[in-house]
Copies of this chain bind each other. A is one copy, B any other.
Amino acid sequence: MVPIVGATSLLAQASSDTRSIPVDSPAFSLVVHGGSGTITRATVTPELEAQYRSAIERALLAGHAVLHAGGSSTDAVVAAIRVFEDDPLFNAGKGAVFTSEGKNELDASIMDGKTHMAGAVSGVTTAKNPIVVARAVMDKSKHVMLASAGADAFVKAQKLEQVDPSYFFTQHRWDQLQSAQKREMVELDFDGKTENSYAQAPQSWEIDHKYGTVGAVALDRDGNLAAGTSTGGLTNKLYGRVGDSPVIGAGTYADNATVAISCTGTGEFFMRGLVAYDVAARMKYSKLSVSDAVDQTIQTELTDKNGRGGLIALDAKGNIKFGFNTEGMYRGYIQNDGKPVAMVYRD
């Protein structure tokens, strides 16, 4: 019996969805997200909701096929994230948001819970699938993180699939950029304000303009965990801003002894709070369950500090936890039985 705590957030603790779901043994499991934010029945049309649910299910099935065949959690994470990166609905790969200069600069990271090896790219512009590049950094280089032009040079040297930057163009992201620039978004505003700047910003800009960061965490038949995250970052981003998604310990973390985590939200809060690693540390040093650890981290590192977002967590026994303090989160899970479960709203 694997307990699953679904759709919980501290702001909605009373409506937590706590179920026990029987699974075959040995358990394997895959959990994904496609971003959190102001996702309510009032803001999402039924047609759009159906598209998101379909994409989540396809990502889950792609990862499940790997796990079912005895593949590694790392391979499953890559397979699931590739589905999101190839889908223009999400802010990752095709469909990524535009920088202030009208470009797409992509970030991704991956970590293997068995070896603690990790790979990440920031500001890559020519790789069709940034998660594949992050994985190559982990497997084929001595480094953890490659950035900007250097990351593109690595893509070429490793003969990974390259695309013309125009591949990433989507009209709706372009329109978002025009709208953001018209409003002179706070990205342009280096004004010395601190944490509250996010709270003072136009309603939900900070999260809605990076809607759709994607991630996956998996547990394979051998009991190994892995985690990965991919994003286009913030609409209208300036100055080579690096967010949490490519930072190991902030947006992504995996450790067989504790948990695999992928985050989405206002990246700076996740970076300062080391949110992904903080969940693992609470499990490792305070001996908390994954559910309690996630609740505490979301409370202290996000909610108390006015950060917004969420994360997916999966421990080595197959316990799944969703934690977020936003109205909703595109997310889902799949276990041995191969039935994908997609969720959108808090309830």
A46, CB-defined interface residue at 8 Å: no
B-facing residues in A262-310 (Cβ within 8 Å): 267-268, 271-274, 277-278, 281-282, 284-286, 305
The number of chain A residues touching the other chain, given as a range, is: 35 or more
- A99 CB, min distance to chain B CBs, angstroms: 9
CB–CB A187/B142 < 8 A: yes
Indicate with 1 or 0, residue by residue over A232-243, a CB within 8 angstroms of chain B CB atoms: 000000111111
CB–CB A272/B144 < 8 A: yes
Given contacts A148-B147, A277-B277, contact A117 B271 (CB under 8 A): no
Q: Is the interface of A mostly helix, strand, loop or mixed?
A: mixed
Contacts of A139 in B (CB 8 A): 192
Taken together as a complex, chains A and B put the C-alpha atoms of A192 and B249 apart, in Å, by 23
Contacts of A271 in B (CB 8 A): 118, 144-145, 248-249
A193, CB-defined interface residue at 8 Å: yes
CB-nearest residue of chain B to A244: B144
* Stretch with Cβ within 8 A of B (4 or more), from A50-58, A194-202, A211-219, A322-330: A194-202
Contacts of A61 in B (CB 8 A): none
Q: State the A residues within 8 Å of B (CB).
A: 111, 115-118, 122-123, 139-151, 153-154, 157-158, 186-187, 189-195, 197-198, 238-243, 247-250, 253, 267-268, 271-274, 277-278, 281-282, 284-286, 305
Instruction: Name 26 interchain pairs, CB-CB below 8 A, sorted by A.
Output: A111-B272, A116-B272, A116-B273, A118-B272, A123-B148, A142-B193, A142-B197, A142-B268, A143-B241, A143-B242, A145-B243, A146-B239, A146-B242, A147-B147, A147-B240, A148-B240, A150-B240, A151-B239, A151-B240, A248-B250, A248-B272, A249-B274, A253-B274, A274-B274, A281-B281, A282-B285
